[in-house]
Structure 1
Amino acid sequence: MSFASIPPMLRRSRSVGAEVAAHLERLITSGELAAGDRLPAERELAASLHVSRASLREAMFELESKKLIERHQGRGSVVADISEDAAQLYENLSELDVEIANATELRDLVEPRIAQLAAVRAADSNLLSLEDVLARSQEDLGPAESLALDVEFHTLLAHAAQNPLLVTLCTMTTNWTRKTRELSHETAEGRRISVQGHRAIFEAVVARQPAPAGAAMERHLREIRAISTEHGHRRAPS
């Protein structure tokens, strides 16, 4: 029986259990660990991550509570599939022929609420994951890498809201608005404004301030939309 390969974990001066949970959650949300992947036994996984079994167990309980893994007595732990409701929603939405304007409007409604809920519900592991994305986000990155980190930030923020249906909606609006978002990452100015927006949202979430977090997200979306529109006009043939 084969087990999923777990890469090494960066260590910081925080709760070890939260660090482990953040590390494994990032692997799951990024797709490096796929639904159905079987995790190594606790003793082996703790040894590979250089943490105590108590810290690992704390992380596993958190991931189970978030419905990211399923634990079975005597059979170990596996990465969970998305909930049945979320899967049905994803299937239904993916069949729609969505116009960019409608997708943008939906994103404007959903993402500020996600930021508000994240400010209330985010666990330490969620904050660590978001902090890690911000540390890797710089305006001097290439457009593709910058966009990938942008998507990762918004996806992790949706997970921090602790509602799988919101994660599904965030994923769908990300797909529907991808062309517009690509425009905002084509210039250094766009990448800089994107990172600044993410940092403002993160600071409000860390401070546990729902209203400022939602307002920061609304401002971020307006700024990105303005950049995308301006850059799109510049690229349009005269």
Structure 2
Amino acid sequence: MTASIPPLRRRARSVSAEVAAHLEALITNGELRAGDRLPSERELAANMNVSRSSLRQAMFELESKQLIERRQGRGSTVTETPRHADALTEGLRALDIELGHAIELRDLVEPRIAELAALRALDSNLLSLDDVLTRSSDTLSPAESLRLDIEFHTLLAHAAQNPLLVTLCAMTTEWTRSARALSHRSRHARRLSLEGHHRIYEAVAAHDCAAAAAAMERHLREVRELGTAMSAQAPTATSARKVRR
């Protein structure tokens, strides 16, 4: 069955980069799954209101990122996760991971992801990251804010152009989800997290590797300190409620 592609939201940049960013985001967030067959290039270009040449450039970029597979006479399909990434995922899932160890791993991995993203990010990657920031706000619900937080970090890992780093990012996200949720409980916390994302994006967009790594380190430190402070306040609030009763 051929996958359904949502409309393309056009912006003032390279058309092929916009198309690649749009399709990559659909793959990253799971709307397009491994094995899904894309419409023909003629149909896809018509549906997205772009030229065949722009679409071909976008498809070539997605193929170079190993996100799709193109075969003559069979069209394009979303690729399966590379076997080495699958093996890494299964191996990591088998471990009994303590939260402190997961946070430590994230502190080591994510600054390097930001550094490589600044080195390797294409226009399509920058468009995807910018789109997440546009949709993010401190007025969102904690759940939606956390979802966009995870989407930003996932897209950043994709921008680093290394599938093993994408896998590590996904696993540290899974292990630290409950702790990260603390950084989205209050409007102040959501604002602080979003400010960190903007600093990271600006450094990546400027292709400043050192600044991107530093921005990520600062972001993780601020979020960790905020989470610690909010965790410490939680028992106090509970005790206060018991006293009032």
Q: Using structure 2 for the length normalisation, give the TM-score.
A: 0.96
Q: Distance in 2 between matches of 1:189 and 1:92?
A: 37
Q: Distance in 1 between matches of 2:170 and 2:201?
A: 19
Task: Find out whether 1:86 has 2:88 as its counterpart.
Answer: no
| Aligned residue type for 1:207 | A
Q: Distance in 2 between matches of 1:114 and 1:229?
A: 24
What's the RMSD between the two structures over aligned residues?
0.6
Q: Displacement of 1:102 after TM fit?
A: 0.2
| Aligned residue type for 2:165 | L
Q: Distance in 2 between matches of 1:184 and 1:28?
A: 26
Runs of 4+ aligned structure 1 residues displaced above 2 Å come to: none
Q: Deviations over 1:148-167 (max 9, x none)?
A: 00000000000000000000
Q: Deviations over 1:113-138 (max 9, x none)?
A: 00000000001000000000000110
Matches within 5 A, 1:1-40: 2-40=1-39
Q: Distance in 1 between matches of 2:11 and 2:97?
A: 42
Report what 2:112 is aligned to.
113
Task: Find out whether 1:187 has 2:186 as its counterpart.
Answer: yes
Q: Displacement of 1:52 after TM fit?
A: 0.4
Secondary structure at 1:34's aligned position in 2?
A: coil
Q: Deviations over 1:45-71 (max 9, x none)?
A: 000000000000000000000000000
Q: Displacement of 1:233 after TM fit?
A: 1.2
Report what 1:222 is aligned to.
221
Task: Find out whether 1:151 has 2:150 as its counterpart.
Answer: yes
Q: Distance in 2 between matches of 1:217 and 1:42?
A: 38
| Aligned residue type for 1:135 | T
Q: What is the identity percentage for the equivalent residue pairs of Structure 1 and Structure 2?
A: 66
Report what 1:212 is aligned to.
211
Q: Distance in 1 between matches of 2:75 and 2:106?
A: 38
Q: Distance in 1 between matches of 2:90 and 2:45?
A: 37
Secondary structure at 2:69's aligned position in 1?
A: strand
Q: Distance in 2 between matches of 1:81 and 1:213?
A: 30
Q: Deviations over 1:70-125 (max 9, x none)?
A: 00111000000111110100011011110000000000000000000000000100
Report what 2:242 is aligned to.
none
Report what 2:73 is aligned to.
74
Q: Distance in 1 between matches of 2:72 and 2:123?
A: 27
Q: Distance in 1 between matches of 2:208 and 2:219?
A: 16
Matches within 5 A, 1:170-185: 170-185=169-184
Q: Distance in 1 between matches of 2:210 and 2:91?
A: 31
Q: Report the count of equivalent residues.
A: 237
Q: Using structure 1 for the length normalisation, give the TM-score.
A: 0.99
Q: Distance in 2 between matches of 1:129 and 1:62?
A: 14
Secondary structure at 1:177's aligned position in 2?
A: helix
| Aligned residue type for 2:20 | A
Q: Distance in 2 between matches of 1:87 and 1:42?
A: 30
Secondary structure at 1:197's aligned position in 2?
A: helix
Q: Distance in 2 between matches of 1:58 and 1:127?
A: 17
Report what 1:61 is aligned to.
60
Q: Displacement of 1:26 after TM fit?
A: 0.1
* Bigger radius of gyration among the two: 2
Q: Deviations over 1:134-183 (max 9, x none)?
A: 00110000000000000000000000000000000000000000000011
| Aligned residue type for 2:51 | S
